[in-house]
Chain A
Amino acid sequence: MVAFWILAPIMVIAALGILFVRKAVHAAMLLAVVMISLAVLYLVLEAPFLFAVQIIVYTGAILMLFLFVLMLVGVDASDSVVETIRGQRALAIAGGVALGAVLVVGLGQISLGTAVGLDDANAEGNIQALADILFSRYVFAFETTSALLITAAVGAMVLAHRERLTPKARQAELAAQRIRDYSESGKHPGPLPTPGVYARHNAVDTPALLPDGTAAPSSVSRVLTARGTIRSAPATADAIEEIEKQIGWSPHAGGAPSAPASTTEEAPATGGEHE
């Protein structure tokens, strides 16, 4: 019973969190908390086989499927707060509270008595006893399950399949298209510029600098630009100047004219020009 009183508040709080979090990924994580706590409760209720199945099938397979689809659909696809049906949210909450009150009060009225316990049923081991029932009394339901699983797999394949309507472009056609673009609109036929490589930052989110000191927008992925996680190279350079002031050393102040000093100098120099 100790495990129950520890896990029950965690489960209820996590389940309530699913109702209130804005991002779908957070909801998936909270659902994982509920499911793993539920698996532990199965262990307490003498169902070790269901404990394993809950972890493997629910947390391992189903929740991962949810996360795959979330990543495909877009992590930032958050909820809209516009109500299409007026007063639907308030009515839903009122109805939910009423349902919960009826269920909890109704369950409080009855007394279930002491549980028989599964010591007799699990005498030969839980998995052996489950297999015994599954392959004798429930064998028809078990066979029907296979039909259900095959139907679900075929259905998912049909729904996810997309017919190719136009023939796939070959490399020769792609090259010809690139040259045609160059002759018509002047689009550069070569590869896009790489992101900037600086002394303190060489990640893909830092744009390269053009000769006039402005950032080259085509050097970073447009997905990062849309998310607004692009670092500004001049801003980084300002921080370098700040640090130089703090340590009281500047490459312009005639220090050792060695090669490493001149390479670190480049980023702050362009930043200064930009300002």
Chain B
Amino acid sequence: MNIQAYVVLSAILFTIGCVGVLTRRNAIVVFMCVELMLNASNLALVAFAKQHGNLDGQIAAFFVMVVAAAEVVVGLAIIMTIFRTRRSASVDDASLLKY
């Protein structure tokens, strides 16, 4: 059994997430695309764990999931705070530092 197809799928999903972060304007959708990239890297880690026959890749994927959970909690709280003060969840509206 060859894991090459899994790694290619992981690369495609990562690219889609990357493009999503760059093109979407809604902060929550941008966040979802970040999650998609994390999931894609997890798939590569689990696939390589099978390739090498040890479980370190699965442990790494597990830690990525923990960090993703913490990141989502703080990130969504920041989005909520910005929405409460500026009444908008668009990433273009939070540009006060520019002027």
Binding site for B on A (CB under 8 A): 1, 4, 8, 11-12, 15-16, 18-19, 24, 27-28, 31, 34-35, 38, 41-42, 45-47, 49-50, 53-54, 57-58, 61-62, 65-66, 69-70, 72-74, 77-82, 84, 88-89, 92-93, 95-97, 99-100, 103-104, 107-108, 111-118, 120-122, 126, 129-130, 133-134, 138, 141, 145, 148-149, 151-153, 155-156, 159-160, 162
Contact = CB atoms under 8 A, between A and B. Distances in A.
26 contacts: A18-B36, A31-B35, A31-B36, A50-B58, A50-B65, A58-B65, A62-B72, A65-B76, A66-B31, A66-B32, A69-B28, A79-B29, A79-B90, A93-B23, A95-B22, A96-B22, A99-B18, A103-B15, A114-B2, A120-B53, A134-B59, A149-B66, A156-B76, A159-B74, A159-B77, A159-B78
Given A12-B13, A100-B15, A77 B50 contact: no
Contacts of A99: 15, 18
Contact of B26 (A46, A58, A62, A77): A77
Interface of A: prevailing SS: helix
A160 B1 contact: no
B32 A18 contact: yes
A112 B24 contact: no
Contacts of A111: 4
Nearest to A51: B46
Interface in B39-86: 39, 42-43, 46-47, 49-56, 58-59, 61-63, 65-74, 76-81, 83-84
B23 A89 contact: yes
B89 to A, nearest CB: 5
B36 to A, nearest CB: 6
Contact of B9 (A11, A24, A89): A11
Contact of A117 (B8, B11, B50, B78): B50
A66 B53 CA distance: 35
Contacts of A118: 49-50, 53, 55
Given A35-B39, A50-B46, A107-B11, A61 B69 contact: yes
By Cβ-Cβ distance, the 5 closest A-B pairs, closest first, are: A116-B53, A96-B19, A92-B22, A100-B15, A152-B70
Given A18-B20, A28-B32, A99-B18, A62 B70 contact: no
A205 B72 CA distance: 36
Nearest to B53: A116
Nearest to A46: B50
B1 A117 contact: yes
A133 B66 contact: no
A18 B5 CA distance: 22
A138 B62 CA distance: 11
Interface of B: 1-9, 11-20, 22-26, 28-29, 31-33, 35-36, 39, 42-43, 46-47, 49-56, 58-59, 61-63, 65-74, 76-81, 83-84, 88-90, 92, 95
Contacts of B58: 47, 49-50, 130
Contact of A38 (B33, B43, B81): B43
B58 to A, nearest CB: 5
Contacts of A62: 35, 68-69, 72
Contacts of B36: 15, 18, 31, 34
